[in-house]
Amino acid sequence: MLKLLGALIVIVASTAYGFYRAMIYGKRLEQLKQLIYSLKRLKTDIQFGLTPLPEAFLHIGSQMSAPFGQFYIRLSERLIHSNSEVSFTAIWNDELNNASYDSYLTKQQYDILLQLGTVLGTSDVEDQQQHLQTAIERLILEESVASEEQVKYASLWRSLGALLGVALVILLI
């Protein structure tokens, strides 16, 4: 009886792990889509509204879900309340690092955002447009890769988790 219970727990746990790994791919795709949309909105705000960055960030962040909505809102708050000794890039990197704990993006996708932080707010409208456009294009590329990976690996992880549990149970019993 106790053995049966243990076996059940092992199978359930590994199946759950498989589903968790499958879920990551979906979440990553969703977050990438949100991020692309937010950068497009930022671009529009800069181009047609000539909105300063803190206000634009607040606009965008209030309409996004966690973790990047939180990221934009906190970024805007810190930009409004910061003294001039801290650079924009430092705040951007710091907040991006905070947001990274709740997000499912990969290292390469972060590097795109980190690079964007080094040029955002340092030049005139047209130059920033170009940098934003580059970042958006690279993120769209990442999105297509992520969607491919989701198709490939999500179902794989789901079945793999359950099978791994059954194999473990057979080995241990």
Partner 1 sequence: MSSFEIGTIFQIAGLGIIIAIFAAVLKQMNREDYAHWVTLAGVVIILFMVIRALADLFQEIKSMFLFQ
Site for partner 1 in 114-153 (CB under 8 A): 152-153
Altogether, the residues listed in the chain come to a count of: 173
Question: Cβ(36)–Cβ(140) under 8 Å?
Answer: yes
1 binds partner 1 (CB under 8 A): no
SS3 82: coil
For residue 6 the two structure tokens come to 């243990």
Say whether residue 24 binds partner 1 (CB under 8 A). no
| Shorter beta-carbon distance to partner 1: residue 80 or 151 | 151
For 78, phi and psi rounded to 5 degrees? -70, -30
Does the protein bind partner 1 through residue 13 (CB under 8 A)? no
Structure tokens at 107: 């290292």
Q: Does 27 bind partner 1 (CB under 8 A)?
A: no
Distance of CA 114 to the CA centre of its chain: 13
Q: Which is nearer to partner 1, 58 or 163 (CB)?
A: 163
Q: How far is the CB of 19 from partner 1 (least distance, A)?
A: 15
Please state the closest distance from residue 82 (CB atom) to partner 1, in A. 48
Which of the stretches 30-38, 94-102, 108-116, 161-169 binds partner 1 when contact is defined by CB under 8 A?
Answer: 161-169
CA angle (22, 23, 28) in 5-degree steps = 110
Sequence-distant (≥ 6) Cβ neighbours of residue 40 within 8 angstroms: 136
By the rule CB under 8 A, 166 interacts with partner 1: yes
What's the token pair of residue 15?
A: 């199946």
Q: Cβ closer to partner 1: 61 or 165?
A: 165
The residue ranges that bind partner 1 (CB under 8 A) are 152-153, 155-156, 159-160, 163, 166-167, 170-171, 173
